[in-house]
Structure formats: C-alpha cells, structure tokens
Amino acid sequence: MNHLWHLLFFPHEHNNHKARLIQPGYVAFLLAIYLLNQSVIKSLTIAKPGILGYSSEITAQSVYEQTNLQRQNAGLSPVHFSTVLSKSAVDKANDMFAQNYWAHNSPDGKTPWDFIKANGYQYSIAGENLAKDFYDTDSMMKAWMNSPTHKANIVNQKYQEIGIGVVNGVLNGVKTTLVVQHFGTPLDSSTISHDTPEEKQFEQSQKVLSQSEVYQQPIISPLQISQAIGASMFILIISVLSIDAYITLKNKTHRFSGSSAGHIGFLAIILFVLLVSRQGTIF
Amino acid sequence: MTNSKSDLLMLAILGIIITIGASLFIYFSNNHLVERQIIYATSGAYFLWSLLYHYFRGDLHFSIIIEYLVFALLAVVITTSTLF
C-alpha cells in the first residue's frame, strides 16, 4: 500500500522515474472522474430540479438606478421607467423559464419585439439585454458595460424608456435569476412618464416563478462544486509535478518527458483562470 | 545558444503565451463565447509550443506529444465543462 502510494506521487525506477499521477494514462483517468462528477451534477438537475442554483441580490430598482448612473457618466439623459416595458421584460423572462431557453429569440420564433408589441408598446426603436446567474447588480452591470453590444443599449441616447424584469425560477433544472432589460422610445412621446418611479412599480418588475412555494435561496451552487473539484485536481497535479521535478533534478535523472516547468506554468494559469471566473452570463 | 539558454527562452515564450491568454480571459470575463475561444486558443498554443520546444531539443517523441496533448485536453475539458 505504502509502495503504491509512493509510486503515485514520487518518481521511482518502478514507475519509469515518473510519478504515476502525472503519466498520461493516470491524468486521463482523473479527467474521466471529473467528467463523471459533471454527469452526476447534470443528472441531479434533471432528477431534482431546483436543488442546485445561484443566489442573487439583484433588484429591479438597483438595475434601474445603475443603468441611469452609467448614462449619467456618459453624459446622457436618464431613461424613464416604463411599466409597459417592464411588463414585456417580465413576460420575456417568464417565457424563458416556461420554455427552458436562454436566448433573445424563443424556440417558437418569438423575438424580443414580439413581447414588447404584445404589451401594446408602439416604438420607434427598441433593444434588449439579458443576464443570468449573477449574484449582484454591480457585477452584472460591469459585465454588460464590458460588452460593446450590451453597452451600446445602456448608453444609447436614442432610448427614452426602460423596463426591467428580475425573475427567479428554475432554468435547465437550476435555480437562477434572469434579468431582462427592455429599452425603447415610444412613437408617441407624450406617453412617457417623467415621474420618479414608486417602489410598488419596481415590485411589479420583481417576480418569483416557483411552482408553489416562495423562492428559497439554493443551498449549493453547481459552479462552486465543479470549481472546487476542478481546482483540487489541478492543485494535486501541480503538486506532484513539482515534487517530480525536484526529485528528478536532484537525482539528475535522464528521461524522455515533457517539461515540468512548462506543465506547471500552464496548469497554474489555468487554475488561476478557473478560480477567478465569476458566475453570471450575459446575452 | 546553449541548451539551458534556449530552454529559458522557450519557457519565457510559453510564459508570454499563457499570460496573454489569462489576461484576455479576465478582460472578457462573463462573455462566455469569447472566454471559450481563449481557452481553446491558449491550450492549442501550449501544445504547439511543446512541439517546437522538443523539436529544438531533439527529443520530440510520440510519448511526449501524447503527454502534452493530455495536459492540454485536461485544461480544456475541466475549464469548459466547469464554466460553461
């Protein structure tokens, strides 16, 4: 047992002077274990929808305020809050949950403009931003502003109104928060409300789509589970590579093998990328 | 150029490649389509680098190619299946 352990982690004449854990066959085995774990997570989302998920602190009011803050920073006038556009934004989010998709166009061919028009909003120009799996409004807004196409909607001087839908539900078996921004300029500008929106109006933009119960914060984030397992594997392999490199260098062992320094550098950067990645997607 | 000097030069090139990859990944964070392409490109560049590195060292063997291929695949599969 001790010998097997030694062969796994240390170079030795019985493992061809290379720790077994960093030999291609064993690395492929670790990869298979990881993929098996991913399959279990996927199966769990199908068998028990809503067990895994992302928690969120995003509110319609914070999205509205931060959008106008970005416009103010760009020297633009603020967009006014539209209850009609908010209704279309909530409808769009509801439709994504109902039909289980994540895109601007629905599987049955509905475009964002169909949702806006269906609510009786006649516009000269309109736009849509989508986001999911973000924990807070700051990081979501930052992601939108880093994307040229989403930023173009937020700081578009042609838009006069905005509607926001923040809806919690289960998408692809995972609890999540979908955020929809609908921008528009009505054909009849006299319909624009210049009043400061009331809290009640924002509440109508905030919906919970759980079958019957009040939305509860999910216990486990699928990203965090996969990140933890993936990071552990990288740390294990990097550690064994480092031990292997040290012993080989110390013993001046000659062997045909890849560059340990190269492997360590590459895997360390990939580990870094894996750890700094944040949840959240924009579309 | 001596062997150790050319080794250092090649390792420095790899360092530049992976640093550029990581920087681009952070710059395009939350844009999953671009992030995925950056991971593919960085892993591909790592594999290509390994071919050149061992070719110049004169020890480009099939087992070494497989070794780099497996590490590149490990990086691609774990990052893409975790993050996307």
pLDDT score of A37: 87
Lowest mean pLDDT among A162-171, A233-242, A273-282: A273-282
Q: Of A233, A252, A102, whose CA–CA distance to A180 is shortest?
A: A102
Per-residue pLDDT band for A281 (boundaries 50, 70, 90) equals confident
Distance (Å, whole) CA A209 – CA B34: 31
Q: What pTM was computed for the model?
A: 0.71
Total of domains in chain B = 1
Averaged pLDDT for residues B56-69: 92
- Interface check for A36 against chain B (CB to CB < 8 A): the answer is no
Cβ-based neighbour number of residue B82 at 10 Å: 21
Window 238-257 of A, Cβ < 8 Å to B: 256-257
Per-residue pLDDT band for A211 (boundaries 50, 70, 90) equals very low
pLDDT digits (tens, 9 = 90+) for A6-30: 888 888 888 888 899 999 999 999 9
Per-residue pLDDT band for B64 (boundaries 50, 70, 90) equals very high
- Give chain A's mean pLDDT: 85
Cβ-based neighbour number of residue B3 at 10 Å: 10
Expressed as residue numbers, the domain containing B16 is 4-81
Are A34 and B77 within 8 A, CB to CB? yes
pLDDT digits (tens, 9 = 90+) for A29-87: 999 999 998 888 878 777 766 666 666 778 889 999 999 999 999 999 999 999 999 99
End-to-end CA distance of chain B: 44
Residue in chain A closest to B19 (alpha carbons) equals A269
The pLDDT of residue A260 is above 70: yes
Lowest mean pLDDT among A230-234, A252-256, B39-43, B60-64: A252-256
